[in-house]
Chain A
Amino acid sequence: MVRLVLIFLIITLPSCTFQKPSSLTVTCIDVGQGDSLLISFPNGKHWLVDAGGVPAGDTESGVDPGHRNVLSVLRAKAIQSLDVVVMTHPDEDHVQGMLAVARHVPVSQVYWNGFEGSRTEKKVRKEFTQRGTRMNVVKAGDVTRVGDVGVSVLSPPAEPILGTRSPENENSVIMLIRYGTKSILLTGDVEEAGERKLLATFGLEIRNVSLLKVAHHGSDSSSMSDFVRRTRPGIAFVSCGKRNRYGHPSGDVIKRLERVGADVYRTDQCGMLEWMTDGRSEAVATMLPCNKNALREAQGVTN
């Protein structure tokens, strides 16, 4: 008996290494035509920005991306609960997957832009409220710190942008995350008017970002030249579905990004994308072998 326990312990113990995150990781989950970003902070907190969904009007059948993609990633990363969930705006392709997240993962609080939208979005908020999750409406200028990482909200503006083609998109929650010398800009589905407003109010803050989540799945209604030139991203992530019917991302947008020297990674080509930084250096890994860093295992990232 004693011998057996000893053998068991000797064999298993060395393999039981507990990983402690010391870097800031942004994971762009491949949810098809939609957005979902998981941010893992160096102090072990996890934020989820959007959770994907099937765009309204699409007849694509099957399991919703919240279950199929987001929960799979959370489980594979052994994430038991989320500290913050951000709903950038109420479109289906960003919030539908939240239903599964709300049902299966304890969430401390939700940040949203206060714009009521689709039936799905109302269902999601109801689900969160029923489970006692705090719902916070955020506005431009809100600032918070997560350990050594600073998070500032740059949008929606105090005076919402109205009278455009899509006010929900224009008033998306936009966040700037800073860690050491690195910065990340998450743009939701913001379009031209929102970008202009951003350049006017936060023009200095958004200069030369390390990572840009390209707005609106790379649509040419966003990422206008001025905005791209000002942000001058080192790396750009585009989250869009394989052979989607909207033609995302637009070739013009990709050209604009590459012209300012950005390395563009697309979920439709590379699957899940992961960007990591320790505040000084950075690394990108992709799930599928794709154009640049052909790393099959998104987990085996080293700086």
Chain B
Amino acid sequence: MRPIFAVTLAMITASFAVATQSTRIIASLIMMVGVLIIVSVPPARRYRRIASGVSAIVGCILVCFHPLTNSKESAVLPRTVIGDVCSPIRKGDTSNRFTVCSPAGKFVVRTRTDLNLNYLDRVHVTSDFTVPEPPRNIGEFDYQAWCKFHHIRGVSSANADVLAVNIGQNPIGSFVSNVRLWIDLQCKAGLPVDTAPLASGILLSITDDLPFELQEAFGRTGTVHVLSTSGMHISVLVASIGTILIWSGRTTTAATGLGLSLLVGYASGGGPAPLRAVTSLFVRLIARYLVRSPEPWHLLCCCACVAILRDPFVVMDAGAQLSFLAVSGLIVAAPIADVISQRIRQATSLFSKVTLTLLQGCTVSFFVTLITAPAVAFHMHHVSLISPIANLPVGFLSEWALLIGAMALVFGWIPGIGTLMFTLLHGVLRSLIYIANLLADVPYADVATGIADPYLVIIASVGLIGLCFVIGRKVIQGASVSEPQYFVPWSPTKPLL
């Protein structure tokens, strides 16, 4: 077994064990290791065994001695907490909400007052923290379990008195917060009320003002991923920078791309999906310097290790799970997409080129839907059947929205051009809303799955990846993948990457 697999699996297992303290899940993870070994690894050579063993032990130690794993757990919840704001400040209808990471654990603070707080600021919070209530109906979002698995020890009620004092500004944090705020304001200033929230959602995953009906429509069509910063955003960004800085050297382009990606990643909340995308870009750039092409599974493992190192409880996060599973889907679909790419190149008529391109998009989208299906069923209790088709127009339009949006933000100050860009963006977003609603209204666009057993979900996810991987390897040898490349036909970034 390769050391990178060993360390990743060890870290995932240890994190699961820490977060759930459930023997059943640990048992299934051990089984998952077994299945992965059978599926993917050629007979191990001796030194690899030693390296893998050492890596696995190091991984376990890293998780077990992580500061967040070892935050002090006392039976009573503290009344005052000193820590850093470790989430963006989310604005709700009646209150603002943010998370504080402190040596005593993580706490969610909700206040009715507007505080002058930014990401990463050090705060002193005084409030009556409580453990959230369990859900009142089956199938409802279990905020209590969510907090437990994310190691959030207490939540302040919005109605209670909350005193939050900013005791230390973080210049990087306030810069990132201001970028976030500026983009949100630019969208609101340049676009009508019906499309401005969607622009903020697509550009920076700010979904605070997005109508619930529209979020539900994206959920029903299995395209909710366009509202979270991911590989697609980073690719569009890097591709745009590549075009703008076409005359400069590779180093400048890479450094600018990476810097801006980090900024975008953190401005959009620094969640697991953007972190994965940025780490993946970073490793790919290094690999390019070393004139090597990184193996996609290794790349994914690296990203997983980084995400767990940042927060061991990320393994319990639905967004993180879906993000990593979706990329696994892209990787296993890559060989088949490659085969279709060859056919597209060989095709002579425009009709067959178009048909094959659509087929390619649908195939990749189908694999991603299939591999994420067990986890989606587990978290949402419904799976989108229309997703493989819906992802084509929605992915296509949201990539263009991203590109036009980014240009509107950069060139918005030029009179005329700014207006033109925002008008164009409005048109794209209108069509996106129309298509999402149209497809969500198709009868049986999604099916209710009931409550899935976590054990079965893990086995099914790993089994599906394994099966698809084997099928994919049978189709073509030595496939490589860059994330959105096969995802969206006629993607604006495709010719640039």
Let me know if B47 is at the binding interface, CB within 8 A: no
**Contact residues in B for A8 (Cβ distance below 8 Å):** 35, 459, 463, 466-467
Q: Specify which chain A residues have a CB less than 8 angstroms from the CB of B150 in the assembled complex.
A: none
Q: Which residue of A lies closest to B446 (CB)?
A: A104
Which residues from A are CB-within-8-Å of B450?
Answer: 75-78
B212 at the interface (CB under 8 A from A): yes
| CB-CB under 8 A for A80 and B216, given A15-B456, A61-B93, A287-B136 | no
Q: Is A5 engaged at the interface, CB distance under 8 Å to the other chain?
A: yes
| Residue A103 at the chain B interface, CB threshold 8 Å | yes
Q: Which residues of B contact A77 (CB under 8 A)?
A: 138-139, 448, 450
On whether the beta carbons of A72 and B139 are closer than 8 Å, the reply is yes
Q: Which residues of B contact A63 (CB under 8 A)?
A: 212
Q: Return the CB mask of B127-144 against A: 1 if under 8 Å, else 0.
A: 000000011111111000
Q: Which A225-253 residues have a C-beta within 8 angstroms of B? A: none
B381 contacts the other chain (CB 8 A): yes
The residue that A271 contacts in the complex, of B136, B441, B459, B467, with Cβ under 8 A, is B136
Q: Given A5-B467, A12-B463 in contact, is the A287-B453 Cβ separation under 8 Å?
A: no
**What is the distance, in angstroms, from B29's C-beta to the closest C-beta of chain A?**
13
B453 adjacent to A299 (CB under 8 Å):
no
**Complexed CA–CA distance, A75 and B381 (Å):** 6
Given contacts A30-B137, A69-B137, A72-B140, contact A11 B31 (CB under 8 A): yes
Let me know if B467 and A69 touch, CB within 8 A.
no
Q: Which of A5, A11, A78, A272 contacts B136 (CB 8 A)?
A: A272
Q: Complex: how many Å from CA A268 to CA B29?
A: 39
Would A106 and B443 count as touching, CB distance under 8 A? Answer: yes
* Alpha-carbon separation in the docked complex, A4 to B34 (Å): 11
A63-80 vs B, Cβ < 8 Å mask (1 yes, 0 no): 100011100111111111
Q: Which chain B residues numbered 450 to 464 have a C-beta less than 8 Å away from chain A?
A: 450-451, 453, 455-456, 459-460, 463
Contacts of B463 in A (CB 8 A): 8, 11-12
**How many chain-B residues does the 8 Å CB contact rule pick out?**
37
Q: Is B39 in contact with chain A by the CB < 8 A criterion?
A: yes
Q: Which residue of A lies closest to B456 (CB)?
A: A15
Q: How far is the CA of A246 from the CA of B488 in the complex (A)?
A: 54
Q: Residue on B with the closest CB to A32?
A: B136
B94 interfacial by beta-carbon distance below 8 Å: yes
Asked, given contacts A8-B463, A76-B451, A272-B136, whether A3 binds B38 with beta carbons under 8 Å apart, the answer is yes
A62 at the interface (CB under 8 A from B): yes
Q: Is A298 an interface residue (CB 8 A)?
A: yes
**A73 contact set on B, CB distance < 8 A:** 137-140
- Expressed in whole angstroms, the minimum distance between the Cβ of B142 and any Cβ of chain A is 11
B438 close to chain A: CB less than 8 A: no
Q: Is A149 an interface residue (CB 8 A)?
A: no
User: Do A1 and B137 touch (CB < 8 A)?
Assistant: no
Residues of chain B within 8 A (CB-CB) of A260 are: none
B residues in contact with A104, CB < 8 Å: 216, 220
* A27 CB → nearest B CB, Å: 9
Indicate which residue in A11, A62, A103 contacts B93 across the interface (CB closer than 8 Å): A62
Asked whether B355 is an interface residue with its Cβ less than 8 Å from the other chain, the reply is no
Known: A77-B450, A106-B443. A298 touches B35 (CB 8 A): no
- The answer on a CB contact under 8 Å between A287 and B451 is no
With both chains docked as a complex, state the minimum distance between the C-beta of B191 and any C-beta of chain A, in angstroms. 25
Question: Within the assembled complex, what's the spacing in Å between the Cα atoms of A1 and B447?
Answer: 31
List the B side residues contacting A80 at CB < 8 Å: 444, 447-448
CB pair B135–A287 under 8 Å, yes or no, is: yes
A window 41-85: CB within 8 A of B: 61-63, 67-69, 72-80
Does any Cβ of A come within 8 Å of B243's Cβ?
no
7 A-B pairs closest in CB distance: A76-B139, A78-B450, A271-B136, A75-B381, A72-B139, A75-B448, A8-B463
16 contacts between A and B (CB under 8 A): A7-B35, A11-B459, A29-B137, A61-B93, A67-B212, A72-B137, A75-B380, A76-B381, A76-B451, A78-B448, A78-B450, A80-B447, A104-B216, A104-B220, A106-B444, A299-B451
B interface with A by C-beta (< 8 Å): 31, 35, 38-39, 93-94, 134-141, 212, 216, 220, 380-382, 441, 443-444, 447-451, 453, 455-456, 459-460, 463, 466-467, 470
A-B contact sample (10 more), CB < 8 A, given A11-B31, A74-B139, A104-B220 = A4-B39, A67-B212, A74-B448, A75-B450, A76-B137, A106-B444, A271-B137, A272-B136, A272-B137, A287-B137
